Amino acid sequence: MSPDEMTNLKTVISTIASVTATVMLVRSVANDLIPKEFRSFVFDNFHELFCRFSSNFTILIHEFQGPSPNLVFEAVEVYLGTIVNSSTKSIRIGKTENDKGLVITMEKDEEIIDVFEDVKVKWRMECRRIESGSQNEEIRDMIAALCSELRCYELSFHKRHKQKVLNSYLPYIMERSKSAKEESRAIKLHSNFRNWGPDGMKLEHPMTLDTLAIDEEVKAALVDDLASFVKGKEYYSRIGKAWKRGYLLYGPPGTGKSSLIAAMANHLNYDVYDLDLTEVRSNSSLRSLLLGMSGRSILVIEDIDCSINIENREKVEEKENKHNRVTLSGILNFLDGIWSCCGEERIIVVTTNHIDKLDAALLRPGRMDMHIHMSYCRLSAFKQLVFNYLGIRQHELFDQIGQLLEEVEVTPAEVAGELLRSKNPSISLRGLLEFLENKIAERERLKAETELREQNEVAEEEPKDATKPESKFDSSEDLTHIVDH
């Protein structure tokens, strides 16, 4: 640096120091000589005058609304974490066991620029320490127990956009934050063994509707039905029905009913409530469990035909089930009675291996709106299983295996078990082919044995042939003749 530049730099620093000292002196003198009330009066009037001529409008969103958390603040916090951009210099990152991924929030004194329908707004986070006497002492102590400082979001924009911000932008933030919160939330599995419990267990089932091995037409129909349900809030409200949907999954064991439930939960990001009817002692307890469920959830009743005797609602309760006082009537009211309207956006899934054992009242629309037959493994489900386990879409043995699958009843679980035997596609598929051929051979052997046994039973039951020559002792005359002699 040249001597002239050094001299100029010293002059600038000296000037700044002098001005700073003067400002501090004036401020000190003002604080000592000018009464506090007068200073506040001057400041308030100056601020009012400034705001009157300013083109900006500011909205303050505090963290607490009295002693309660401010829901708008929480929504803004979530929303701003989704729009962090180049205008932000620092952010805060965290994660809890209830979050799928990292949670981004705005750091104090930071700014974020957002644009909504061509309206430019600026967000700023302010933090202030809690001071005594700043508000009701009881409320202050309650808030202080939760945090050491009060946070506030400051939203600034041109005042001509005031109505659009209030009527459109802020409601948009509330909806957007709700969706973002649900997407980032980990799915929980609840059990009624402890009346659901406060938190549940984290459900980390990997099955999705994309990897689920069921008939493609059935899968497509289910995806469309779920999409219609999720978007149906206004529709259900308009027709005067509770916002819920019932699905009956029926078919033999091993056909993927539980996997389908997990795939639905992952697809919708809904919590799962597993209802064990054998643990419920009365219809009133059943209603209490319903009230304890959250919205956006799936209620699952697996193997309902085995959980409780509900075949005939005309039976007297004591005769129907001596050890469980839950009745079919209680189940039906639970599914679509007045109590089922307490809550919204719920899905009810009932599974059974024997649909013929269920009362018709349980199966009608409004209770079970969609019946899904989980059938034996066919070609489309087989191909999905092969891709899941072996990572291939085509193989020379596909056609031959597909033909055998049409001839034999084998579950997806059995096919998956065979595919697990080797990671080599050719070895695994040849093993499956041999397995299917053995199943067919065993079926034919059992069929032949059954036919032979039936033939023998028929032969034993047939009367003796009338054309057969009679013995000389069969006639009473011959017998008399012998006796006479």
pLDDT of res. 442: 92
pLDDT digit string (tens) for 122-145? 999 888 765 555 455 554 544 444
Question: Comparing C-alpha atoms, which of 395, 396, 376, 391 is closest to residue 436?
Answer: 376
Residue 385 predicted with pLDDT over 70: yes
pLDDT of res. 6: 64
Average pLDDT rounded to a whole number, residues 191-201: 75
pTM over 0.75: no
- Please report which confidence band the pLDDT of residue 86 belongs to, taking 50, 70 and 90 as the band edges: low
Residue 479 predicted with pLDDT over 50: no
Between 196-200, 283-287, 362-366, 431-435, the lowest mean confidence (pLDDT) is in 196-200
Query: 232: alpha, beta or left, given left = phi > 0 and alpha = psi -120 to 50?
Result: alpha
pLDDT digit string (tens) for 233-266? 899 889 888 899 999 999 999 999 999 999 999 9
Average pLDDT rounded to a whole number, residues 364-370: 89
Q: What does residue 391 show for φ and ψ, rounded to 5 degrees? A: 75, 25
Task: Say how many C-beta atoms besides its own lie within 10 A of residue 142's C-beta.
Answer: 14
pLDDT of res. 146: 46
Cα–Cα distance between 271 and 201 in angstroms, integer? 10
Strand order in the sheet with 271-274: 196-202, 188-191, 271-274, 297-301, 346-352, 244-250, 370-373
Residue with tokens 């079919």: 328
Cα–Cα distance between 230 and 275 in angstroms, integer? 23
Residues 6 or more apart in contact with residue 355 via CB below 8 angstroms: 248, 250, 363, 371
> What angle in degrees, to the nearest 10, is found between the helix axes of 379-390 and 398-407?
130
Percentage of the chain lying above the pLDDT 90 cut: 41
Between 149-163, 181-195, 393-407, 469-483, the lowest mean confidence (pLDDT) is in 469-483
Which residue did the predictor score with more confidence, 431 or 197? 431
Cα–Cα distance between 189 and 83 in angstroms, integer? 31
Residue with tokens 């307490």: 342
Supply angle C-alpha 194, 195, 197, rounded to 5.
Answer: 70
Average pLDDT rounded to a whole number, residues 208-213: 94
Between 4-8, 146-150, 177-181, 471-475, the lowest mean confidence (pLDDT) is in 471-475
pLDDT of res. 334: 80
pLDDT digit string (tens) for 295-336? 889 999 999 888 666 544 445 444 544 555 788 888 888 877
Average pLDDT rounded to a whole number, residues 443-462: 86
Residue 67 predicted with pLDDT over 60: yes
Residue with tokens 């924009």: 157
Which residue did the predictor score with more confidence, 85 or 229? 229
Cα–Cα distance between 361 and 327 in angstroms, integer? 13
- 370-373 and 244-250: which strand pairing? parallel
Average pLDDT rounded to a whole number, residues 96-111: 72
Which residue did the predictor score with more confidence, 38 or 353? 353
Question: Comparing C-alpha atoms, which of 117, 119, 61, 120 is closest to residue 87?
Answer: 120
Sign, Cα dihedral of 73, 75, 78, 82: negative
User: Does residue 374 contact residue 249 with C-beta atoms inside 8 Å?
Assistant: yes
Residue 480 predicted with pLDDT over 50: no
Task: Say how many C-beta atoms besides its own lie within 10 A of residue 454's C-beta.
Answer: 10
Average pLDDT rounded to a whole number, residues 394-400: 95
Percentage of the chain lying above the pLDDT 70 cut: 72
**Residues, the chain:** 485
Domains of the chain (ranges plus CATH)? 54-132+142-184 (no CATH), 189-313+325-373 (3.40.50.300), 379-444 (no CATH)
pLDDT of res. 348: 94
Residue 481 predicted with pLDDT over 60: no
pLDDT of res. 47: 53
